[in-house]
């Protein structure tokens, strides 16, 4: 069953290390390929909702936002530059190369030699914003033949409404309700062996449940 990771020192060490790697990634992108980028911790790591199923590994999700490059439509070039820069940054910290999946770059699992032995990894999603400030996520559609692979930007679902509800809940000091709901929802889907509800969907469901019950808050 899922439970919140309560070792704050461990989580701080993980965030600090992964943050250093992301800083190095942005540095190498700029120095080696003249591509400007910034990064954000997103997902459960940014919302203080990191859960762990027994002693299984945890992961931190990052968005790598491309803010400057010669051609935003040259998707294959951008992805390859980001992959090489990420691997260079990982190597600087003694990590192996990342795996290139459809929508992210994923690291190997690591653990600290001393202290909490929990394994952890990083998932990095490449994003950009259009003139309307809407986010687009990079997609690498694999075909089994590299020369036939497709690279493109896919507009991400708008989250303004969820952000508005989140702000309302936090302003009224009821964020603990979201934490309780989120954990209950994650465990419910786990018991049902339901793998079609990723963490972000569970988070949206938790926020909506708490917001919709606001008239009964105490």
The three-state secondary structure class of 90 is helix
Pair of tokens at residue 109: 């699992």
Residue 121 is classified by DSSP as E
The pLDDT assigned to 196 comes to 81
Q: Tell me the pLDDT tens digit for each residue of 116-145.
A: 999 999 999 999 999 888 899 999 988 877
Q: Tell me the pLDDT tens digit for each residue of 63-121.
A: 999 999 999 999 989 999 999 999 999 999 999 999 999 999 999 999 999 999 999 99
Instruction: Give the Cα separation of 84 and 95 in Å (integer).
Output: 13
The pLDDT assigned to 132 comes to 87
Nearest to 185 by CA among 171, 200, 166: 200
pLDDT greater at residue 23 or residue 157: 23
Pair of tokens at residue 170: 């936090």
**Domain 2-155 in CATH 3.30.460.90:** yes
The pLDDT assigned to 184 comes to 97
The pLDDT assigned to 14 comes to 97
Taking the CA atoms of 78, 79, 80 and 86 in sequence, report the sign of the dihedral they define: positive
* pTM metric for this prediction: 0.92
The residue ranges of every structural domain in the chain are 2-155, 160-216
């Amino acid at each position: 069953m899922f439970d919140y990771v309560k070792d704050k020192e461990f989580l701080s060490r993980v965030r600090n290390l992964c943050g250093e790697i992301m800083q190095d990634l942005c540095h190498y992108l700029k120095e080696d390929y003249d591509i400007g980028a910034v990064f954000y911790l997103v997902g459960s790591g940014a919302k203080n909702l990191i859960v762990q199923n027994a002693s299984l590994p945890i992961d931190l999700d990052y968005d790598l936002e491309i803010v400057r490059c010669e051609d935003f439509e040259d998707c294959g070039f951008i992805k390859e530059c980001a992959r090489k820069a990420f691997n260079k940054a990982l190597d600087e910290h003694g990590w192996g190369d990342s795996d290139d999946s459809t929508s992210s770059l994923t690291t190997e699992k690591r653990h600290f030699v001393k202290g909490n032995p929990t394994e952890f990894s990083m998932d990095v999603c490449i994003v950009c914003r259009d003139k309307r400030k809407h986010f687009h996520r990079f997609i690498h559609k694999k075909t089994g033949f590299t020369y036939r692979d497709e690279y493109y930007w896919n507009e991400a679902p708008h989250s303004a409404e969820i952000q508005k509800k989140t702000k309302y809940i936090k302003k009224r000091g009821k964020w603990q309700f979201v934490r309780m709901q989120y954990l209950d929802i994650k465990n419910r889907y786990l018991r049902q062996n339901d793998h079609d509800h990723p963490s972000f969907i569970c988070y949206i469901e938790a926020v909506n449940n708490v917001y919709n019950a606001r008239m009964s808050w105490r």
